[in-house]
Structure 1
C-alpha cells in the first residue's frame, strides 16, 4: 500500500493547470496589490493561481467559461469525488500512450459539448470524475504553459531532451500531491461558469471589495479557447472603469492600447520569466521574457510601501 503524501495548507504547485501566462510565478506580487478586503471577485480565473496564494476572505467568487477547468475545480473540492480523483491519480504514472488516449477524449468532448455540459452540472458524478481525471492528465502531461489554449490539446506529450528546466514527471507528481491543499482552498470559493461581462455589470461598487481580472492578452503568440476581440477589451475597460469604491486590479501583457483603455489608472510593470508558446520570444535557455503589467484603479500599495521604506 502506497504511503499518502503529506498534506499542508500550501500546495506544492499553486495552479490547477499549467495555464498560458505567468500568474503562478507572479501570484504573490499580484496579491500584494489587493490590500485588506472583505469581498473578492476573480474574473477569468483560469488556473486559480491567484486564489491558491491569496488569503481567504469572507466572500470569494470566481468566474470562467472554460468548462474543463471549472469541472476539475468542482470535482477536486467535492469531499467524495475529490478523494476518488486523488487516489486514482496517485496510482497513475506519466505515460505517453495514456496521455494520447486522454487527449483524444478531451478534444472530442470539446467538440460535442461534453465539457460545457459537465461543468454546468448536467452529467453524472462518474462522468464528471472521469472528465476531470482525463483533463488533469492532458494538462500536466502535456507541454507546459499551454493550458487554456487550443495548443493544450494537440497531442504534444511533454518530453525533455536537455538537462535545463524542470522534469515533467516531477511536475506531474507535484500536481497530484497538491490536490489535498487545493481541495481545502477551493471549498471557500463560489465558482461560476458565466460570461464575465454579465458578472461585471452586476457587481456592486462597495468598500472593502476587490476585483481581479486576468483577461486574454491583446497581443499573444497563441489564441485562447475563449478569446477576446478588441471590442471585448474596450467593453471590459468601460465596465471596470465604473468602480470607484471597489479596488480593481487587471493583468495584461504590456501593449500601447492599454494607455487608451485605462488612461487614469496606475500601471505597474512586472517582469516574468516562464516557459510557454509565445512565438519569437525564446532565448538560449528556452524561457520567455514576458513584460506583464498590472493596471490598478488607485495607487500601487507595493510601490508606495517601498517609497516610504526608502525614506525611513
Structure 2
C-alpha cells in the first residue's frame, strides 16, 4: 500500500481491500469527500490519469497536505527545527494551531493594508514579502500540526501521548507523498458543496464521515443533522456512491435506500487482544454486478458471505426496488 504521511482516527488502511473490492470497476473521477489521512485517495484502484479529488473540512489538515505535496523539503526542514520534548511544548503547539498567534488571516489583512498605506512600487514590494511570509507561516503551521498528530494519543492532536518519536524516519514518507499526490485536487469544503461541484454520472464518490456517536474523536464538529444532510445529499447523487460507517442501528435505518455490507477489522484503539470493530460499507449501487469481473466468481447468489484473503464480509440489507405501479402512486 501507498503510505500516508500521518496516522489518523478512523484511517482506512485495514479496510482498503473491501473498499476496492466493492468499488465500481470503471469511473473517470474519484472524490474522497472526508479525506483524512489520504489513505483512500492514495490506494483506490483508480487509474492515475483520471481526476482525483481529496477534500477535508479540517483546514489544518488540508494545509499539511498541500505543504507536503508542494513544499516537501521546506516542511522537512521545519520539522527538523521544531522541537517537542514535553507536555509543555505540546500545549504551546496547540495554542499556535488554535490561532492564538499570528495567522494566515492576519497576513491577508496586512496585504490589503499595503494597498492603502503605500504608493507603488513600495506596495508591490511589500506584498511580495508578505506573500513569502505567508508561505513560510503555512509551512510552520503544517509542521506544528504534523507534530501534534505524531505525539498525541491515538493521533487525535489533542492529548499528549508521552511517547518518544523520531520524526526523521518519516521524512522519506513525506517525499514519496509529494510525488503520489502531485495530480490530486485538494479541497477544503463542506461535503455538500463539494459533492454538488464534482458529482457526475461517471464519478465515484467515497465518504468516510465521522462515525455515529463517535464524533468526539474528530477535530471537526459533525452533528445529527449533518448525518441526515449527508444521506440526503448522497441519495440525490448522479454518480456511484460508497459510504463507510460504524455498525450503528441509526445508520442502518437512515440508509435503507442503500445496499449495506457488514465486516469487521482489528480495533486499533482497544487494549484488549483480538478485539474487533464492526464496520458498514453502504453503496447506492449493487456491487454484485461487478464482482465476477473482479474476483472470478460465477454464482452471484453465493455473495452473501465470501471469505477473501483479507477478511470476511456479508450483505445485510438490500434496498427494496419499487415497481412501476408503486412509483406511480
Q: TM-score range by the shorter chain?
A: 0.7 to 0.9
Equivalent runs, 1:269-308 vs 2, <5 Å: 269-276=262-269, 282-285=270-273, 289-300=276-287, 305-306=294-295, 308=297
- C-alpha displacement at 1:94, in angstroms? 8.5
Separation (CA, whole Å) in 2 of partners of 1:256 and 1:110: 35
Tell me the residue number matched to 1:218. Answer: 212
Tell me the residue number matched to 2:116. Answer: none
- C-alpha displacement at 1:92, in angstroms? 7.1
The one of 136, 157, 160 equivalent to 2:162 is 157
Per residue, is there more helix in 1 or in 2? 2
Q: 1:94 to 1:63 in 2, by over 3 A?
A: same
Separation (CA, whole Å) in 1 of partners of 2:93 and 2:85: 15
Output the aligned Cα RMSD.
3.2
The one of 198, 214, 228 equivalent to 1:203 is 198
How many aligned positions are there?
Answer: 273
Separation (CA, whole Å) in 1 of partners of 2:182 and 2:100: 30
- C-alpha displacement at 1:227, in angstroms? 2.5
- C-alpha displacement at 1:88, in angstroms? 4.9
Tell me the residue number matched to 1:238. Answer: 232
Larger Rg: 2
TM-score by length of 1: 0.75
Instruction: Indicate yes or no: 2:256 matched with 1:263.
Output: yes
Separation (CA, whole Å) in 1 of partners of 2:103 and 2:58: 8
What SS does the aligned partner of 1:222 have? helix
What SS does the aligned partner of 1:268 have? strand
Q: Contact 1:274 / 1:288 at 8 angstroms: preserved in 2? A: yes
Gap runs ≥5 in structure 2: 109-129, 303-329
Q: Contact 2:93 / 2:148 at 8 angstroms: preserved in 1? A: no
Gap runs ≥5 in structure 1: 1-9, 160-167, 277-281
The one of 22, 30, 37 equivalent to 1:40 is 30
Tell me the residue number matched to 1:162. Answer: none
Tell me the residue number matched to 2:52. Answer: 60
Instruction: Indicate yes or no: 2:143 matched with 1:133.
Output: yes
Higher RCO, 1 vs 2 (CA within 8 Å, ≥6 residues apart)? 1
TM-score by length of 2: 0.72
Deviation sequence 1:16-56 (CA, Å, 0-9, x none): 32111141222343133322211111111111111122242
Separation (CA, whole Å) in 2 of partners of 1:263 and 1:203: 25
What SS does the aligned partner of 2:22 have? coil
Separation (CA, whole Å) in 2 of partners of 1:247 and 1:289: 29
Q: Contact 2:31 / 2:54 at 8 angstroms: preserved in 1? A: yes
Question: Which has the larger displacement, 255-264 or 21-30?
Answer: 21-30
Tell me the residue number matched to 2:245. Answer: 252
- C-alpha displacement at 1:254, in angstroms? 0.8
